[in-house]
Amino acid sequence: MIRGLIIGVLALGVIGTGYWGYQEHQEKNAILLNAENSYQRAFHGLTYQMDLLHDKIGATLAMNSRHSLSPSLAEVWRITSEAHNNVGQLPLTLLPFNKTEEFLTNIGNFSYHTAVRDLDKEPLTEKEYKTLQVLYKQSGNIQSELRKVQHMVLKNNLRWMDVELALASGKETTDNTIIDGFKTVEKTVSGFDETDFGPTYANMQQRDENFKNVQGSPISRTTALKIAKKYMNFDGNAKVKVTENGKGSDYGFYSISLKNSKTGQEASMDITKKGGHPIWFINQRKVRKPTISLHDAVTKAQAFLKDTGFTGLELSESTQYDNIGVLNFVTNTNGIRIYPESIKVKVALDNGDIVGVSADEYLTSYQKRTFEKPAITLEQARKKMNPNLKVMEDRRAVIINDANKEVLCYEFLGTIKDDTYRIFINAENGREEEVEKLKNSETVYDDVL
Amino acid sequence: MIYNGGNYSMKTKAGLLKRLIIAALVMTSLPFISTQKVQAFSNQIIQQGAVGEDVIELQSRLKYIGFYHGKIDGVFGWGTYWALRNFQYEFGLPIDGLAGQATKAKLVKSTKYIRNAGSANNPKAAKNTGSKASAVNIPRGFSQNDIQLMANAVHGESRGEPYIGQVAVAAVILNRVENPKFPNSIAGVIFQPGAFTAVADGQIWLTPNETSKKAVIDAINGWDPTGNAIYYFNPATATSAWIWSRPQIKRIGKHIFCK
Asked if the structure places residue B17 within a domain, the reply is no
| Residues B110 and B175 grouped into a single domain | no
Asked if the structure places residue B57 within a domain, the reply is yes
Asked if the structure places residue B110 within a domain, the reply is yes
Q: What is the mean pLDDT of residues A159-174?
A: 74
Instruction: Please indicate if any CB of chain A lies within 8 Å of the CB of B242.
Output: yes
**Cβ A307 vs Cβ A299: under 8 Å:** no
Contacts of A168 in chain B (CB under 8 A): 194, 200, 239
Asked if the structure places residue B135 within a domain, the reply is no
| Residues B86 and B120 grouped into a single domain | yes
| Residues B254 and B149 grouped into a single domain | yes
Instruction: Please indicate if any CB of chain A lies within 8 Å of the CB of B136.
Output: yes
Asked if the structure places residue B245 within a domain, the reply is yes
Contact: B218, A293; criterion CB under 8 Å: no
What's the rounded Cα separation, in Å, for the pair B232 and B255? 6
State the pLDDT at residue B173: 94
Contact: B217, A321; criterion CB under 8 Å: yes
List pLDDT tens digits, range A11-27. Answer: 999 999 999 999 999 99
Residues of chain A with pLDDT > 70, as a percent, come to 92
Polymer length in residues for chain B: 259
ipTM: 0.86
CB atoms within 10 A of CB A286: 10
**Cβ A409 vs Cβ A433: under 8 Å:** yes
| Residues B100 and B172 grouped into a single domain | no
Q: What is the CATH number of the domain that holds B247?
A: 1.10.10.2520
Contact: A246, B249; criterion CB under 8 Å: yes
- Asked if the model's pLDDT at residue B24 lies above 70, the reply is no
List pLDDT tens digits, range A250-268. Answer: 888 899 988 887 777 888 9
| Residues B151 and B246 grouped into a single domain | yes
Contact: A169, B239; criterion CB under 8 Å: yes
* Domain C-terminal end among B82, B100, B127: B127
| Residues B81 and B150 grouped into a single domain | no
Contacts of B247 in chain A (CB under 8 A): 246-249
Whole-angstrom CA distances from A128 to A52, A117, A133, A381 are: 21, 13, 9, 31
**Cβ A67 vs Cβ A118: under 8 Å:** no
Return all residues near A329 (Cβ < 8 A) that are at least 6 apart.
A301, A302, A305, A310, A313, A314, A315, A316, A342, A343, A344, A345
Sign, Cα dihedral of B174, B179, B181, B184: positive
Contacts of A439 in chain B (CB under 8 A): 77-78, 140
Return all residues near A212 (Cβ < 8 A) that are at least 6 apart.
none
Number of domains in chain B: 2
Closest partner residue to A164 (CB to CB) among B194, B246, B258 is: B194
What's the longest Cα–Cα distance across chain A? 109
Q: How far is A41 from chain B (nearest CA, A)?
A: 14
What's the rounded Cα separation, in Å, for the pair B168 and B146? 17
Asked if the structure places residue B214 within a domain, the reply is yes
Contact: B193, A39; criterion CB under 8 Å: yes
Across A163-177, A244-258, A400-414, least confident range: A163-177
Closest partner residue to A170 (CB to CB) among B51, B182, B239 is: B239
Contact: B46, A255; criterion CB under 8 Å: no
Closest partner residue to B221 (CB to CB) among A94, A249, A326 is: A326
Say whether A420 sits in a helix, a strand or coil.
Answer: strand
Q: Name which of A298, A286, A281, A287 is nearest A232 in CA terms.
A: A281
- Asked if the model's pLDDT at residue B32 lies above 50, the reply is no
Q: What is the CATH number of the domain that holds B118?
A: 1.10.101.10
* Domain C-terminal end among B127, B157, B180: B127
Asked if the structure places residue B3 within a domain, the reply is no
Contact: A93, B50; criterion CB under 8 Å: no
How would DSSP label each residue in A222-272?
HHHHHHHHTTS---TTEEEEEEEPPTT-SS-EEEEEEEETTT--EEEEEEE
| Residues B184 and B237 grouped into a single domain | yes
Return all residues near B129 (Cβ < 8 A) that are at least 6 apart.
B72, B116, B117, B118, B119
| Residues B77 and B108 grouped into a single domain | yes
Say whether B72 sits in a helix, a strand or coil.
Answer: coil
State the pLDDT at residue A446: 61
State the pLDDT at residue A357: 93
Say whether A331 sits in a helix, a strand or coil.
Answer: strand
| Residues B160 and B112 grouped into a single domain | no
**Cβ B162 vs Cβ B252: under 8 Å:** yes
Q: How far is B184 from chain A (nearest CA, A)?
A: 8
Asked if the structure places residue B117 within a domain, the reply is yes
Closest partner residue to A418 (CB to CB) among B52, B70, B242 is: B70
What's the rounded Cα separation, in Å, for the pair B155 and B204? 7
List pLDDT tens digits, range A83-129. Answer: 988 988 888 776 778 788 888 888 888 888 888 887 778 888 888 88
What's the rounded Cα separation, in Å, for the pair A211 and A215? 9
* Domain C-terminal end among B101, B127, B153: B127
| Residues B58 and B115 grouped into a single domain | yes
Contact: A444, B135; criterion CB under 8 Å: yes
Query: Global pTM?
Result: 0.83
| Residues B148 and B253 grouped into a single domain | yes
Domain that holds residue B85: 53-127
Please give the backbone phi and psi of residue A349, each rounded to the nearest 5 degrees, phi first.
-85, 0
What's the rounded Cα separation, in Å, for the pair A275 and A208? 18
User: What domains are defined for chain A?
Assistant: 23-202 (no CATH), 207-285 (3.10.450), 287-367 (3.10.450.630), 378-438 (no CATH)
Mean pLDDT of chain A: 85
Using 50, 70 and 90 to split pLDDT, how confident is the model at B240? confident
Amino acid identity for residue B60 in this structure: S
What's the rounded Cα separation, in Å, for the pair A283 and B198? 27
Contact: B164, A257; criterion CB under 8 Å: yes
| Residues B171 and B229 grouped into a single domain | yes
**Cβ A95 vs Cβ A45: under 8 Å:** no
- Asked if the model's pLDDT at residue A295 lies above 70, the reply is yes
Contact: A356, B223; criterion CB under 8 Å: yes
